[in-house]
Amino acid sequence: MEDLLNFLAAAKTQYHAVRKLKEMLDKEGFKELNEEETYELNPLEKYYIIRNSSSIMAFKTPKDINDTYLKIVASHTDSPTLKVKPNNKLILDQYSSLNVEVYGGPIYSSFFDRPLSLAGRAYIKKNDKILETLVDFDSDLLVIPNECIHFNREVNSGKNYNAQIDLIPLLGNKDADLNKMLAANLKVREDDILSFDLQVYNRYRGSIIGANKEYFMAPQIDNLESAYLTLKGFLDGNDDEALNIYVSFDNEEVGSRTKQGAGSGFMSTNLVRIFKALGALDDALDKSIARGLLVSCDNAHAVHPNDLGKTDKLNKVYMNEGIVIKYNANQAYTTDAMSSAVLKRIFELNNIKYQEFTNRSDVRGGSTLGAISTQMVSIPSVDIGLAQLAMHSACETAGVYDAKILESGMKAFYDTKIKKEKNCYIIK
């Protein structure tokens, strides 16, 4: 459990998350490929590709590219937050505050009255080069203060937050200047900084709680828990007949409509390049997609202890009760009877605990990158995750025991040989 908490603490933005995932792959002997160069690949080898420093795709090549099938597990690296605008210094009376913009769908109130900081990346000019560097102020730097109850007697009856007014972080007195602070942090001149992507993050490191230490709290459990644990399963699993793939996309929280999102050609284009580099026949990729399975892994909503009525009475899930298989009639989740049957059988053969979830019919739920991914690669797909509380809060809660279950479940998926004969599947 401590390794997961350490990862969550280090992965302060999608850029930092990908760096940590890269380190894990490097340690296991994976070779990095550059999309700007021709791929030179061999059977039974291990590779990875990074795009925009925020999305990552790793794969293990099969022994025969012309007689293979795809096994893919997809997650995402981003989380709802506040992003700093380019022109960001707001002088409000005697205060210097930061002009920020909401990214994704955070629970606004959860960012109030807690130590916050900034992290992300910056681009620096140096002679004739433009260099990317990661940024982390790694200090208790900001606060978004609540208005005292004496000035807002109705605050406990609910507040309609204005994103441009109420969510502005306090940086310091009127002399505080983020651009100067950033230059000092990077040890460069202020005019050497060309641009940056900076995000607010919660300084809380994460901890294990509960009477029996059965839960843990941390920022960005959605979806860095999945990104980390599915990679662990990928690293441990092996099927030399399959093209085993791990991918974690950026920008899921804003619709995946970017060059590095699930709606881009990041995975589909690289699949074409992988098959070509391994000398595949013209129809080999198409056959491998038809034979394959994609597991979209993004967390699920546990029954809330103080609001039991939000979940379907017969399809509700709990923390520490295993992997959640998610269904939606309108395909917000891509699971169908076929894809769930295959995954259930894999779980049954490996004693992996699972449960099933649907939303109430009168409550709109969220969606995942699964449906977007299958628009780009038309592969059978199933949506899964782990049950958690307070999704999209600055600090979320999940089950300690579920972490090992997901890691084991994904190892089982990557280990298992899946044979498809028309509408019949052979699992062994």
Residues 337 and 244 in one domain: yes
Q: Answer yes or no: do 22 and 38 share one domain.
A: yes
Q: How much is the mean pLDDT over the chain?
A: 96
**Of 171, 202, 233, which residue sits at a domain end?**
202
The pLDDT value given to residue 363:
80
pLDDT at position 35 is 98
Which domain, by its residues, includes 363? 2-79+219-427
246 and 367 in a single domain? The answer is yes
In this structure, is residue 325 part of a structural domain? yes
How far, in Å, CA of 389 to CA of 412, rounded? 26
Tokens standing for residue 403: 């972490």
The pLDDT of residue 32: 98
* Domain match, 225 and 90 both: no
Let me know if residue 211 belongs to a domain: no
pLDDT score for 383: 97
Tell me, yes or no, whether 140 and 236 share the same domain.
no
Whether 48 and 109 map to the same domain: the answer is no
The answer to the question of residue 412 being in a domain is yes
The CA dihedral of 60, 66, 69, 75, to the nearest 10 degrees, is 40
pLDDT (0 to 100) of residue 228: 98
Q: What share of the chain is helix, strand, coil (3-state, %, to 5)?
A: 30, 30, 40
Q: Is-contact 11 202, C-beta < 8 A? A: no
Peptide bond into 87 cis (omega under 30): no
Q: Kindly state whether residue 355 falls inside one of the protein's structural domains.
A: yes
Q: Which domain-ending residue is among 168, 202, 236?
A: 202
Residues of the chain with pLDDT below 50 are none
> Is there a contact between 244 and 59 (Cβ–Cβ < 8 Å)?
yes
Q: Are residues 315 and 247 in the same domain?
A: yes
Residue 209 lies in a domain: no
Verify that 97 and 233 share a domain, yes or no. no
Q: Which two tokens stand for residue 269?
A: 């284009």
Query: Do residues 86 and 259 touch, judged by C-beta distance below 8 A?
Result: no
CA distance 122 to 193: 7
Choose the final residue of a domain: 202, 228, 257. 202
Do 86 and 67 sit in the same domain of this protein? no
Q: How far is CA 246 from CA 57, 75, 230, in A?
A: 6, 8, 8
Q: What is the pLDDT of residue 151?
A: 94
Residue 261 within any structural domain of the chain: yes
Same domain? 101 vs 229: no
The CATH number that applies at residue 378 is 3.40.630.10
Domain count, the chain: 2
**pLDDT value at residue 158:** 87
Rounded Cα distance, 377 and 288, in Å:
11
In-domain check, residue 208 = no
CATH number of the CATH domain containing 132: 2.30.250.10
User: Do 421 and 334 share a domain, yes or no?
Assistant: yes
pLDDT of residue 366: 75
Q: Are residues 68 and 166 in the same domain?
A: no
pLDDT at residue 263 in the model: 96
Nearest to residue 230, comparing CAs of 10, 398, 24?
24
- Within-domain flag for 44: yes
